[in-house]
Structure 1
Amino acid sequence: MQMKKQALVMITALALSLAGCSTASDSPATTSTTSGDTIPANPTTTPQETASPEGTERMTARENQENTPITIRIDGRTVNGTLSGNATARSLMDQLPLTLTFSEFGGQEKHAELPQPLSLDGVPAGDDADPLTIGYYAPGRTLVLYYEPVGHYTGIVRIGTFDDLAAIRDRSGRFEATLSLRD
């Protein structure tokens, strides 16, 4: 009976020590802290997002926020849109309001270079985009308003939608648009 108790104690101790170890199936996108919290391992993570409990709480609340309403103003015309709750969309929200110069690309989209790259934490390496999609093309660091369907491309991240296809599709030449959070 004594040997069974010793074996049980050893097995329990071994199990507890292994519980803190990571395995190959653990996500490489996060790192555990000594307090048991997980933080993104991506170097684009800002200290504000992980350094203090307040920053962590704010980030958690924003992560749960989906369908954030925005406006896209073009020559006095307002196009309504929504941004999703992924890290890339949240990264764009942090830059708003933002005035960008858009131009035509490939007869499918209008695109504009962003002043800063957006986070790619937790998003797929590539995607496709339907008309009325707001996207981010990571290799070009561009915000994209799609008005025709595009196939799957590495680097496309869907971050939201807009509601007026003609306002974007029918716009010719270069134009400025201001994106802002909608009240």
Structure 2
Amino acid sequence: MGLLGGAIGAGLGAVGSIFGGIAASKAIKNVKNNINAQRSANKDWYDRRYNEDATQRADAVAAVNRVEQGIRERNRQAAGTQAVMGGTEESVAATKAANNQAIAEATASIAANGERRKDAIEAQYQAKDEAFQSQLNDLERQKAGNVAQAIQGVAQAGANIAGIL
């Protein structure tokens, strides 16, 4: 009975190693699916944010509104000055030139900020994607180790059975 019990115990050890390896493989597959879902969500975030129109963002619209308000104020002042003091065509032209310069500077600032924002979004996306890829690589290494451990358990159980018989 001792010989048979040893063989059964060794066989159960082999079966346990196999089932343990299968359970670990399923768990790794679930984690891998979760990481891939996070990676996909990160890509969707990147596509959405990177391709936003910088001129339509709330901060850009607010900046343009501030510039336009300043232009309206300068135009009112220029019109008042011209009505009271009899301004010249040159003063009106200078006001228009200053207004055009203000719009050009605001637009250039929005464009520069938009490019810096895109660079930051790209860097953040790449860092997250590299982290996800590293996690996936770690899972593959863990999976390989689990397979090797399961094989070693089966081989050990086989050796025990052979030694008993």
TM-score per shorter chain, which class? under 0.3
TM-score of the two chains, using structure 2 as the length reference: 0.22
TM-score of the two chains, using structure 1 as the length reference: 0.20
Bigger fraction of residues in strand: 1
Bigger fraction of residues in helix: 2
1 or 2 for the larger relative contact order (CA 8 Å, sep ≥6)? 2
